[in-house]
Amino acid sequence: MIHKVDETIPSSESHSISVNLPTWQSAVDYVQDMKIHSKEDTDTTKFKHGYPRVKLHPLVSKLCNVIREKYAKENESCLCFPSYNVAKRCREYIRFKSQSNVKVRILQLATSKPITSDEKKWKRECKIAVVFVKSEYYPILKEYWQLSGEIISSRAAEYVLHELFVISSSIGRTTFNDTNNNNNNNNNNSATNSTLVDKATLIDKDLNFEFADRAKKLIKKRITNNFVDMNEENENSNYHFHENNSNLTATFLDSETSVNSTNNSNGGGSSSNEGQNNNSNGLSDWDLNFEDGEEFQEIDQTITSAAPTTGLRSRIPPEPIFADTTDDLHLGNDRDPTLTRSSLHVRAESMSFTNEDTRESLVDPEKDVFLFPSGMASLFTSLHLLLQFDLRRVNRTRSNASSNTSLNESMTTNNNNSGTSTIGTSTNGGTLDLTTSNNNNSAISGLTHRTNSNDNNDNSDKHGANLYKKTVMFGLPYSDTLKMLRTFNNTYFLPGGENESMIQLKKILHSGEQILAVFIEAPSNPLLKMGNLIELKELSEMFGFYIILDESIGSFVNIDGLQHTDIVCSSLTKIFNGETGGTMAGALILNPKSKLYSFAQEFLNELGEYEDNIWYKDLLILEKDSRDYVARTMKTNQTCEYVIDNVIIKNEGNLFKKVYYPRFTSITTKTNYEMIKCNEDSGYGNIFSVTFNNMDQAKKFYDSLEIYKGPSLGSTFTMASPYTILQYGTNKIELEDANRFGLDETLIRISIGCESRKTLCTIFQNAIDKAMKLTNTD
């Protein structure tokens, strides 16, 4: 299996979320290239692809370049966001981080609405907000994109590029490149079009956008039920895709009409006034709107439709996927040949979940599940929610203190006492204080006023009265999760992840300090450690903090942490996504039994902090690719465990210094994990990590693996990632810091896919043999 450096994974997917790094050196080059160009808003990087939240997808980058050329002032950079509210939060973040009232401009753009009923099937108004800032502040702008996860997808960028900037030469309109010479002829226009948009940016008309609401409902139901649409009507008879329609051609069989969206979103809802209020040149009445008092002439382009492209090619696993959990795990020719892909739903529905079907009994999919454009966005929103909750407490405290001060002053005056009160005066050490701001005036209220440079800062007023509660990161998480928490709130970091972290947490709690929330991964990425969630829940009830669980690695099928937590977050980009693995998405699930539930519903719904910013096409494809989610998860569970048992674990202590997998990480992790498994048939996931006795062996093993290699995880194909190098680089100081947290620089994280387990065993054994030869020749 030969894959080129910087090739998308998979190579046929134009909306890929990963990049191939086939050798250890290519991974090192990738990290160095990212660092060199991290402060630049350019296309000069050696590597063009990567994980879209960290490195802009080429289509998003293209859209930003187009808009920058057309609307930016001198020495300005820009980045596109999915809504005006997100852009305002970004603006507040830039001003806070720069410690100045830096000029930040926001441009709102929107594509035109559909005019005819036929257009509604493939055309929708897509609103974006573009943040412009001086180029020197671009790293801060990009940092908000990465840490908040509030991004636009490559498919949304593709749509906007086509609708706003691809102009049909047949009606004599100009493209953005012709604004300095509007007299160019149609031939020149056509030439410009061909350089602006390639085959990847043509719009599919074989997806019916009218069924995005239906897709959203099915996605939410799968998340909450732990299995594929049990007790649901036969979806295949009422679907926007035929069961055997591999190219996603729309069938329009669904008679259910689209429900009007209740928020200002880009996905999953149709507006009641679509097709109306369009101006004469075909642009929406909200197509061009600069904020902050900037005035610009209206653009004179109109919008045309491109010819439909062929549908996406479905990536079919090389073997049938079986949802059964019998002892006979052989998946070869001895299987019943009639068990094909179409039988997945039947097999999955027959599964019984014995953990009292907790998630189903607790959660209303329509009310308690919220979808986001990335997993990080769901975590970011959870933190924002908590900080806003804490902000109310602080304001109440200040209000009460102020009242007491006034009363004391009155009493002092009456008693002719010259003493003064030390209660009620508040400041925050010079940091941006939004605690008294009205929500309508501050899109990021509750976030940017809380942090100082030191995690251990008391975050108190000048009289010593503690204002804001800290958060806790329990265990070593994915690097951006920790950075996000530290950026927006003072945070205790307890990297041990097992008993050590629990002891440290208890010490904090018994000291008398009140904490706001504990964030924890189940299990952690990439060390696959698991804290005691049940004990953590008991502590939370005793000391009054909340628990936010990231279930991305464990998955909804394997573990049920909701009953022990207040909020569960997950990246749907991982195993839930499946198939091409080319859709960014995340989910936030509220526990209705949580004391935080009422405020969370108010924050997300009544206060309008939640926006449905997933683009229509992303919803439709995510729904299609998640239909066999449970069966696929069960298969990868079994395959991963088989590969570890038969190949990997046999070489621990020999080639491998340590194997990390919930069954083998430690007895503590295994016990803690099994306490929250959904049922006895649930597995330990499809992720494991290995470390090596020396770097040369790690490099040889990695280079010899004949599988996809790069960032991301959880798709239908097996992937390996030199995690520590990709996350922390090759700088000696950074690597020492990572090692302090338990991350060995030789660590390789592996995500098992749906390939033949026997083939995978052969692949891993070959790589082990080649790496072992280095020891034999020393």
- For the stretch 201-259, pLDDT in tens is 455 666 789 899 999 999 999 998 753 333 343 333 333 333 344 443 333 223 333 33
Q: Determine the Cα–Cα distance for residues 194 and 610; give it in Å rounded to an integer.
A: 38
Kindly state whether residue 1 falls inside one of the protein's structural domains: no
Q: Determine the Cα–Cα distance for residues 111 and 85; give it in Å rounded to an integer.
A: 18
Residues 279 and 166 in one domain: yes
Number of domains in the chain: 3
Q: Which CA distances in Å does 54 have to 31, 43, 156, 482, 527?
A: 11, 15, 17, 15, 21
pLDDT mean over 612-638: 93
Q: Is the model more confident about 452 or about 366? A: 366
Q: Is the model more confident about 318 or about 630? A: 630
Lowest mean pLDDT among 140-144, 220-224, 425-429, 767-771: 425-429
Residues 667 and 738 in one domain: yes
For residue 523, cis peptide bond before it (omega within 30 degrees of 0) = yes
How many CB atoms neighbour CB 7 within 10 A? 19
Task: Please state the three-class secondary structure of 174-209 as a single string.
Answer: CCHHHCCCCCCCHHHHHHHHHHHCCHHHCCCCCCCH
pLDDT mean over 63-87: 96
Residues 215 and 109 in one domain: yes
Domain boundary among 243, 266, 290: 290
Which one-letter amino acid corresponds to residue 634? M
Task: Please state the three-class secondary structure of 593-615 as a single string.
Answer: CCCCHHHHHHHHHHCCCCCCCCC
Q: Is the model more confident about 283 or about 19? A: 19
pLDDT in tens, 250-298: 332 233 333 333 344 576 544 333 334 433 333 333 334 444 434 333 2
Q: What is the DSSP letter of 80?
A: E
Within 510-602, strands assigned E span 515-521, 546-550, 567-571, 586-590
Sign of the C-alpha dihedral, residues 432, 433, 435, 436?
negative
Give me the long-range contacts of 462-468 (CB less than 8 A, separation at least 24): 462/425, 462/427, 462/429, 463/422, 463/423, 463/425, 465/401, 465/423, 465/426, 467/394, 467/397, 467/426, 467/428, 467/435, 468/387, 468/390, 468/391, 468/394, 468/516
The strands making up 491-494's β-sheet, listed across from edge to edge, are: 369-372, 586-590, 567-571, 546-550, 515-521, 470-474, 491-494
pLDDT in tens, 525-534: 999 999 999 9
Kindly state whether residue 5 falls inside one of the protein's structural domains: no
Lowest mean pLDDT among 146-160, 371-385, 593-607, 729-743: 729-743
Position 447 confidence tier, pLDDT thresholds 50, 70, 90: low
Query: CB-based burial of residue 416 (10 Å sphere; 0-12 exposed, 13-18 middle, 19+ buried)?
Result: exposed
Whether the predicted pLDDT of 580 surpasses 70: no
Domain boundary among 572, 592, 618: 572
Kindly state whether residue 188 falls inside one of the protein's structural domains: yes
Looking at residue 564, its pLDDT comes to 96
Whether the predicted pLDDT of 400 surpasses 90: no
Q: Determine the Cα–Cα distance for residues 112 and 288; give it in Å rounded to an integer.
A: 11
Q: Determine the Cα–Cα distance for residues 103 and 663; give it in Å rounded to an integer.
A: 53
Whether the predicted pLDDT of 707 surpasses 80: yes
Lowest mean pLDDT among 51-55, 249-253, 434-438, 745-749: 434-438
Q: Which residue has the tokens 């050590």?
A: 500
Kindly state whether residue 543 falls inside one of the protein's structural domains: yes
Q: Determine the Cα–Cα distance for residues 624 and 39; give it in Å rounded to an integer.
A: 38
Whether the predicted pLDDT of 306 surpasses 80: no
Kindly state whether residue 472 falls inside one of the protein's structural domains: yes
Kindly state whether residue 452 falls inside one of the protein's structural domains: yes
Query: CB-based burial of residue 718 (10 Å sphere; 0-12 exposed, 13-18 middle, 19+ buried)?
Result: buried
**Please, which residues have CB within 8 angstroms of residue 199's CB and are 6 or more apart in sequence?**
309
Looking at residue 38, its pLDDT comes to 66
Determine contact, residues 594/566, Cβ cutoff 8 Å.
Answer: yes
Whether the predicted pLDDT of 24 surpasses 90: yes
Whether the predicted pLDDT of 577 surpasses 70: yes
Q: Determine the Cα–Cα distance for residues 312 and 624; give it in Å rounded to an integer.
A: 12
Looking at residue 387, its pLDDT comes to 97
Q: Is the model more confident about 278 or about 394? A: 394
Determine contact, residues 702/720, Cβ cutoff 8 Å.
Answer: yes
* 196, two tokens: 């602006």
> 417-421, 548-552, 730-734 — which one is most confidently predicted on average?
548-552
Q: Which CA distances in Å does 231 have to 234, 246, 353, 498, 624?
A: 9, 25, 14, 39, 19
Position 160 confidence tier, pLDDT thresholds 50, 70, 90: very high
Domain boundary among 532, 548, 572: 572
Whether the predicted pLDDT of 335 surpasses 50: no
Total residues found in the chain within this entry: 778
pLDDT mean over 621-645: 94
Q: What is the CA radius of gyration of the chain?
A: 27
Which one-letter amino acid corresponds to residue 191? A
Looking at residue 337, its pLDDT comes to 31
> Which residues partner with 708 through β-bridges?
719
Q: Determine the Cα–Cα distance for residues 512 and 535; give it in Å rounded to an integer.
A: 19
Looking at residue 33, its pLDDT comes to 87
> Measuring CA to CA, which residue among 216, 53, 228, 82 is closest to residue 143?
53
* 123, two tokens: 């055309």
Residues 555 and 675 in one domain: no
Residues 385 and 453 in one domain: yes
Kindly state whether residue 585 falls inside one of the protein's structural domains: no
Q: Determine the Cα–Cα distance for residues 71 and 127; give it in Å rounded to an integer.
A: 17
Residues 211 and 66 in one domain: yes
Residues 676 and 560 in one domain: no
Q: Determine the Cα–Cα distance for residues 748 and 690; give it in Å rounded to an integer.
A: 5
Residue 543 sits in a domain whose CATH number is 3.40.640
Q: Determine the Cα–Cα distance for residues 217 and 448; give it in Å rounded to an integer.
A: 34
pLDDT mean over 366-384: 97
Looking at residue 113, its pLDDT comes to 93
Sign of the C-alpha dihedral, residues 641, 644, 649, 650?
positive
Whether the predicted pLDDT of 497 surpasses 70: yes
Residues 656 and 562 in one domain: no
Q: How many helices (H) and strands (E) does the chain have?
A: 22, 16
Residues 677 and 755 in one domain: yes
Position 495 confidence tier, pLDDT thresholds 50, 70, 90: very high
> Measuring CA to CA, which residue among 481, 525, 535, 464 is closest to residue 505?
535
Residue span of the structural domain in which 557 resides? 375-399+434-572
Mean pLDDT of the chain: 76
Residue 734 sits in a domain whose CATH number is 3.90.1150.10
Position 482 confidence tier, pLDDT thresholds 50, 70, 90: very high
Residues 217 and 123 in one domain: yes
Q: Determine the Cα–Cα distance for residues 377 and 614; give it in Å rounded to an integer.
A: 11
* 128, two tokens: 């974006």
* 233, two tokens: 């009507």
Kindly state whether residue 697 falls inside one of the protein's structural domains: yes
- First and final C-alpha spacing in the chain: 29
Position 361 confidence tier, pLDDT thresholds 50, 70, 90: low
